[in-house]
Amino acid sequence: MKLFSRMSDIARSPGDPVVITPGPSVKPAADQMARGLGWFSLALGAFELAAPRTITRFLGMEGHENLIRAYGAREIAAGMTSLSTEKELGLWSRVFGDALDIATLMAACRYSNPKRENVALALAVVVGITLLDLGSANAQTMTHSRRKGRHRDYSDRSGFPGGAIMARGKALERQRSETTGAIR
């Protein structure tokens, strides 16, 4: 980022301040995690869209390429959302997607599947990622949510030293009296 801010200095005029020492980032860990998972989602989604046959062959699920493509599109949507300002929604949609993945892999984990061992391996990986997603989604909610029921009451802040009732129309009255005064 320091490099980018140095590069952008060419857009500034000589008297403008330029960064000498960047301060520390205060991005919460939950946001950094969401960013990592967002990019992971995009990469996985792109792979699922581009090479579904590689995945179905590995899992012994030949003939389900369109399902893998649909899951790829879902991953990309979740990734984009996790990278946006709606990280919480993105991460919870990843958790929902994980549940779908687990259900699909469970269905493929049957004795008749010659790639059953691969499916078990994939299942273990997805369960691990699900735990990571759950933790991240929870952390995201905790970091950014308003604590419900805890809000201050500002009903004593009218902004009008003479009270709101007295203030009604006062500026208009002043404008009118100034105009009348000017005419006189």
Partner 1 sequence: MRALVWHGKEDIRCDEVTDPEIEDPRDAIIRVTSCAICGSDLHLYHNFIPAMMPGDIVGHEMMGEVVEVGSGAAGSLKKGDRIVVPFTIFCGECIQCQRGNYSVCQRSNRKKEFADKVYGHSTAGLFGYSHLTGGYPGGQAEYLRVPFADKTHIKVPDGIPDETLLFLGDIFPTGWQAAVQCDIQPTDTVAVWGCGPVGQMAIRSAILLGAKQVIAIDRLPERLSMAEAGGAIPINFAEESVIERLNDLTNGQGPEKCIDAVGTESHVSFKHPDTIVDRVMQMNMLSSDRPHVLREMIYVCQPGGILSIPGVYGGIVNQFPFGLVMNKGLTIRTGQTHVNRWTDELLRMIEDKLIDPSFVVTHTADLADGPDLYRIFRDKQDSCIKVVLKP
* Site for partner 1, rule CB under 8 A: 1, 4-9, 11-28, 31, 80-81, 84-86, 144-147, 151-162, 164-165, 167-175
- 184 vs 182: CA distance, rounded Å: 5
Distance in Å, CB of 129 to partner 1, minimum: 23
Which CB sits closer to partner 1, 112 or 164?
A: 164
Distance in Å, CB of 23 to partner 1, minimum: 4
Count of other CB atoms within 10 angstroms of residue 68: 20
Evaluated on CA atoms 35, 40, 41, 46, the torsion sign reads positive
Which CB sits closer to partner 1, 1 or 183?
A: 1
Q: Collect all residues with Cβ–Cβ distance below 8 Å to 56 and sequence separation of at least 6.
A: 62, 63, 64, 65, 68
Distance in Å, CB of 73 to partner 1, minimum: 13
Count of other CB atoms within 10 angstroms of residue 60: 18
Which CB sits closer to partner 1, 34 or 55?
A: 34
- 26 vs 28: CA distance, rounded Å: 6
Distance in Å, CB of 152 to partner 1, minimum: 4
Which CB sits closer to partner 1, 112 or 150?
A: 150
